[in-house]
């Protein structure tokens, strides 16, 4: 169960955020038709691409080495990313007109991804000061 939670927390949080963003936009604008749905999806996908290009181009190093404890803490802290992304979605969904659809998708993705980076840093800091999320093997190594 622990592995499933760690491996899926970020994807789950993102799914919750983007689904809520679409729902909030629909609630503010009325049900989205095909055009609105495509605009929303293009805004969300475009944001993911822009953030990826921006960060992957600057930081060519591989993935950070994260202990099992950091992975566990990061999944728990992911709540902050979801909360921020949904708050951004709420605000952007209130923009008048069709533009609200792609802008809400874009803003939600950017907020989620950027806060996700902060989540990693927070989890690394917390891992130094708590045993929460530490596996037995990691606990034995630390002793």
SS3 of the chain: the string is CHHHHHHHHHHHHHHHHHHHHHHHHHHHHCCCCHHHHHHHHHHHHHHHHHHHHHHHHHCCCCCCCCCHHHHHHHHHHHHHHHHHHHHHHHHHCCCCCCCHHHHHHHHHHHHHHHHHHHHHHHHHHHHCCCCCCCCHHHHHHHC
Tokens of 1: 């169960």
User: Could you report the per-residue pLDDT of 61-73, keeping only the tens digit for each?
Assistant: 655 555 555 555 5
Q: How far apart are CA 44 and CA 31, in angstroms?
A: 18
Q: Is the pTM of this model over 0.85?
A: no
* Residues 48, 102 contacting (CB under 8 angstroms): no
Q: Read off φ and ψ for residue 8, nearest 5 degrees.
A: -110, -5
pLDDT of residue 136: 46
With the CA atoms of 84, 18, 116 and 53 taken in that order, what torsion angle do they form, in degrees rounded to the nearest 10?
Answer: -120
User: Could you report the per-residue pLDDT of 92-131, keeping only the tens digit for each?
Assistant: 999 999 999 999 999 999 999 998 878 777 777 777 766 6
């Amino acid at each position: 169960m622990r592995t499933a939670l760690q491996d899926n927390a970020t994807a789950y949080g993102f799914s919750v955020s983007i689904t809520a963003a679409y729902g909030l936009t629909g609630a503010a604008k009325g049900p989205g038709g095909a055009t609105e749905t495509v605009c929303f999806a293009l805004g969300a996908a475009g944001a993911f691409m822009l953030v990826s290009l921006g960060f992957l181009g600057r930081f060519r190093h591989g993935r950070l080495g994260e202990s099992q404890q950091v992975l566990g803490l990061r999944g728990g802290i992911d709540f902050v990313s979801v909360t921020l992304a949904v708050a951004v979605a709420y605000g952007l969904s209130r923009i008048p007109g069709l533009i609200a659809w792609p802008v809400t998708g874009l803003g939600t993705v950017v907020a989620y991804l950027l806060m996700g980076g902060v989540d990693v840093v927070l989890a690394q800091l917390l891992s130094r000061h708590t045993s929460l999320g530490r596996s037995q093997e990691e606990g034995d190594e630390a002793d």
